[in-house]
Every structure is written in C-alpha cells, then in structure tokens.
Structure 1
C-alpha cells in the first residue's frame, strides 16, 4: 500500500467521523505508521497538517448546516466537537472572517454547492522519496 492510498483512506475516515473525536494516534495506527511518520506523510501528500485538515472539514460541514438549517449554533458546535459555542465561534471567525450568526444571516437558505469550500488539494503527483 502506497502513502497516497494511506492518506486517501485517512481522508475518507476523517470525513465519515467529523462529529466524533479523531485522534492522531488512532489515524497513525489505522495507517500502520508511527504518529510522527504519519503526520509527515499526511502533510506532504495533502499540503497541510492533520489537525488543520480536520478543523477545516468540520468548519465546512458546520458552515453548510448554518446555511441550510435553523439548528441552534450551540448544537452545531457540540456536534463538531467544540466544547462551547464561544470556542466554535472563535474558530469559525478565524477561518471564515465572520461569526457563525453573521455567516448564517449572509448565506442562509443557500444550497450546499454555494457554501464556501476550504478543503485541501490532494497532491497525487508528490514525490514521496523525502
């Protein structure tokens, strides 16, 4: 199994478990790599750290829910593993430049293809010799 496949499998697992705790140790074990080596390979293939990728994917999902539903912001924050609405709002503001409430007012009622996409670009042609 090559590194690209391991990272692709990890991306699939992450996307299927965004509303659960995702641990770097568990991801590394699933890929049969050490935590250090896994993180290094993930960064090289995806262009960003595991933590950053997970945060961005959770924010994309949360942004989609903010735009398409009337669910309370605290419920969305808790679903995507934030301990409080305040911590979720700070993280959301840092990524989108808007608070979740302002984002909802601006983009509410939009279909999923109009929600701002933050996903990394998977570098399929990256030389893994390093």
Structure 2
C-alpha cells in the first residue's frame, strides 16, 4: 500500500471539507485502514494528530476570512464547526495569541495565510520504511 498517496488523499479531503464535520472514522474508512492504524500513520507522517491538524487548518482558513472579508466573527466561527463565538475565540487565542477581533484589526489586509505545502509534511523514505 502506498501510504504517501493514501495520506495525501486524506489531506486533500480535509482541505476541501474544512467547513464540514470531519470524523476520524470517515477518514480511516476512505483510506481503507482501521481507525487506530490511520491515526498512527497520520501522526507519524504529518507529525501531529488528525484533529490537531484539522484545527490548525480551520484556524488558518478562519484567519484568512477574518482579514479578507467583513463577515461577522460568529459566522466565521460557525462556518468552521465551532458551537459558539466564545469557543472559537478561545481556540483562536491558543493558536494566534490574539482574539479574532484584535487579529482582524491588526492583520486586516495582510493575506499571508496560505495553504500548507503538503510536500513538507510527507517524506517518502519514512513511509516506505514504516511497518504496516
């Protein structure tokens, strides 16, 4: 099995569905792996858990929305699967060290958030040498 291709497909799926609910069970099923093996493989290759990766990507896209749109913060929070503006603000603060409102004021017009270059996360040598 080509784990590089499998994980690349998963990351592409995650990127396309950041505004939707993403379950580990669904990702593992799409990859045709057990949930445990999928999570272990993802962590080994990407360097962090599936949920941490999804959270970071959602926050990066939310940060983009904050600086590139006038959309209310609550709408951005709901778009990226947060139950409330408060839970979104706490998560945003943990990653960026600022509230979403302050981030928007400081970084408005600065569009430096880009999609992560997947090649930096995948190392074919690790994948081919890893035991199944």
Asked if TM exceeds 0.5, the reply is: yes
After TM superposition, the structure 1 = structure 2 runs for residues 31-110 of structure 1, keeping only pairs within 5 Å, are: 31-110=31-110
SS of 2:130 mapped into structure 1:
coil
For structure 1, the residue ranges without an aligned partner over 5 or more in a row are none
For structure 2, the residue ranges without an aligned partner over 5 or more in a row are none
Q: Find the aligned partners of 1:49 and 1:34 in 2 and give their Cα distance.
A: 15
Q: 2:131 aligned with 1:129, yes or no? A: yes
**Residue equivalent to 1:115:** 113
Deviations 1:61-120 (A, max 9, x none): 000010111100000000000000000000000011110001000000123xx2387778
How many residue pairs get aligned? The number is: 128
**Residue equivalent to 1:19:** 19
Q: Find the aligned partners of 2:90 and 2:45 in 1 and give their Cα distance.
A: 28
What's the offset of the Cα at 1:129?
A: 2.6
Q: Which has the higher helix share?
A: 2
What's the offset of the Cα at 1:21?
A: 0.2
Instruction: Report if the CA contact (8 A) 2:92-2:98 is conserved.
Output: yes
> Aligned in 2, Cα 1:117/1:79: closer, same or farther, shift over 3 Å?
same
**Residue equivalent to 1:7:** 7
Q: Find the aligned partners of 2:88 and 2:41 in 1 and give their Cα distance.
A: 28
Q: Find the aligned partners of 2:114 and 2:6 in 1 and give their Cα distance.
A: 27
